[in-house]
Amino acid sequence: MPELPELEALVLRLRPRLLGQTLTNLEVHRPVVLRNLLAEPEDVLVGRRVTDIQRRGKLLLLQLKDLWLVTHFMLAGTLVWPEEGELPRSRDYYTLSFGNAGAIRYYDPRGMGKTYLTRDLALVPGLAQMAPDALSEELTLDVFLQRLRSCPGEIKGVLTHERVAAGIGNAYADEILFCAGIYPFAKANRLTPAQKEQLYGAMRSVLPDRVSFLLEHWPPDMDLHWREGLQVHRRRGEPCPRCGTPISEINVAKRPTNFCRNCQPGLLIRN
């Protein structure tokens, strides 16, 4: 699933390319992903200029004058950059064309993602209820600790369910917890004050560092599922970058959790 760093880097890459450009064509190949919340057809977008590109949590927001395209990529969605005249594949859902600026196409092998067309962002499911963004100024240490107090579950689950901060998924929860030296299955309400501060500090360093890494190393296709350069996530059996202990992996609900048993000690409660 694309997470905060990939989407933040995508926004920074898209802005110089698309801001001020006019949408010249919208082609819907498979309508299931595009959710029109207007009382008008989708082609109302054509002829509008791109006036803003934002990210909120794991959502990409593209503003075209008074309309918004809000995309939640879910597990497998991404954007691709078709060549001129390149025909859509079976799992391409729509194409946005911007004249000389080229085109972007939504691709999703699972078809689980959603793009909402709306004038009112409050109509986008979950957006109004979203926790503060993990990199926002609003999420101070005090706010983070306050939100954490109401979360009794395992700390990785708390992070990935965005009860405390928006934008963190499976991959970066692993990375943040490794940086903080916290066992992924520790109960959030049993963390010490020092651990909670370490967790906040890790979140505020891992995520922007990863954005910088992506901007420097990301391939030109900007695949939102590119995960090179991570410390522990998906590195089962490889040596821990700190101590050399083989990285462990435990699967919960078909999602891997990777951690170092030496650097993140804790009682094993998963099989």
**Residues tagged active-site:** 2-3, 58, 255
Residues 115, 33: contact at Cβ < 8 Å? yes
Contact 224, 162 (CB under 8 A): no
Kind plus residue range of the DSSP H or E element containing 169: none
| Joined tokens for residue 266 | 């804790």
CA terminus-to-terminus distance, the chain: 24
Cα separation, 118 vs 89, whole angstroms? 26
Q: Report DSSP letters for 69-114, one per residue.
A: EEEE-TTT-EEE-PPTTPPP-TTEEEEEE-GGG-EEEEE-TT---E
Backbone angles phi, psi at 155, to 5 degrees: -65, -35
Whole-angstrom CA distances from 187 to 153, 222, 239 are 5, 36, 26
d(CA 37, CA 215): 33
Count CB atoms within 10 A of the CB of residue 205. Answer: 13
